[in-house]
Structure 1
Amino acid sequence: MTITTTTHLNFRGDARDALAFYRSVFGGDLAAVTYAEAHAVTDPAEADQIMWGQVTSDAGFRVMAYDVPSHTRHDPGVMPVFVSVRGTDPDELRRCWDGLADGATTLVPLAEAQWSPLYGMLTDRFGVTWVLDVEVPWNG
């Protein structure tokens, strides 16, 4: 049996734009199904919002997202989750950082850290906090 975990992000009307943005940063394929396409419309104003969506890339990036319908409580809180992007290629991580940084708030600039040759944290324009770092062996 193989198990894969995928970060699933919840939005209120921004899922389509967020998924398109993440695809522009990480590449890959974007798949999305609206509430109308799934025959699951509960509010006509939300028919074209995303009921299920994901971006997947050959490099291993995967994220899912949907628009929480208005009849469902949605409180994203303050940094309730970080999306961690770890890799072995500093240039690739810098490219991802540069893409995510468009319209973002930098929390920790991308630079050398005590535990990694490259580490940074930002909150993107959709309110999602990302942590990027070069993975190094743990010598606990």
Structure 2
Amino acid sequence: MALINPHINFNGNAEEAFNFYKSVFGGEFAMIMRFKDIPNPGFPIAKKDANKIMHIALPIGKNVLMANDVPESMGRVNENENRSKISVSAESHEEADRIFNGLSAGGNIEVPFAESSWGSYFGMFRDKFGIEWMVDFDPKYNGKV
């Protein structure tokens, strides 16, 4: 079965966001690469962008959450876009509750974590970095959706 590995663009705070995500999910970064680590004459990077994240990866279960900073020369990422969300299917009610409470800290809760009308425990929020998340635990599937 194929895996889905979300990739997020940030406006210079990818490392801060991923340290926060790591504090909630645990684990270690599989990779951290900065723009200064990949000199490319065809794609010059401003000195102020040299230490920003070119690629960062945090394994979560069998999946990988990835991201990068967008150099200022390429314009800003729309932090209020709402066309996509990252969905987390937890393996237990306790895990879902921990993830929801951890990731939503300092953010905006759109749907409080509670039993849904379709029988799962569900919540939705925008984290303090502007990323939208949905957390779900369905006892019928035990997190294997």
TM-score (norm 1): 0.87
Aligned counterparts of 1:75 and 1:22: Cα–Cα separation in 2: 19
Verify: 1:35 aligned to 2:53, yes or no.
Answer: no
Shift of 1:72: 1.4
Structure 1, unaligned runs of 5 or more: none
Aligned counterparts of 1:75 and 1:19: Cα–Cα separation in 2: 17
Alignment of 1:92-107 (within 5 A): 92-107=95-110
Partner of 2:2: 3
Describe the shift of the 1:132–1:101 C-alpha distance in structure 2 as closer, same or farther (beyond 3 A).
same
Verify: 1:73 aligned to 2:75, yes or no.
Answer: yes
Of 62, 85, 89, the residue aligned with 2:64 is: 62
- Check the 8 A contact 1:118/1:134 in 2, yes or no: yes
Verify: 1:24 aligned to 2:23, yes or no.
Answer: yes
Verify: 1:121 aligned to 2:120, yes or no.
Answer: no
Aligned counterparts of 2:13 and 2:49: Cα–Cα separation in 1: 11
Shift of 1:75: 3.8
- Check the 8 A contact 1:26/1:61 in 2, yes or no: no
| Bigger strand share | 1
Aligned counterparts of 1:50 and 1:132: Cα–Cα separation in 2: 26
Shift of 1:61: 4.7
| Bigger helix share | 2
Alignment of 1:80-99 (within 5 A): 80-99=83-102
- Check the 8 A contact 1:85/1:133 in 2, yes or no: yes
Amino acid at match of 1:17: E
Aligned counterparts of 1:126 and 1:54: Cα–Cα separation in 2: 17
- Check the 8 A contact 1:110/1:118 in 2, yes or no: yes
TM-score (norm 2): 0.85
Aligned-residue identity in percent: 30
Aligned counterparts of 1:34 and 1:110: Cα–Cα separation in 2: 36
Verify: 1:131 aligned to 2:134, yes or no.
Answer: yes
Partner of 1:109: 112
Partner of 1:14: 13
Aligned counterparts of 1:32 and 1:51: Cα–Cα separation in 2: 8
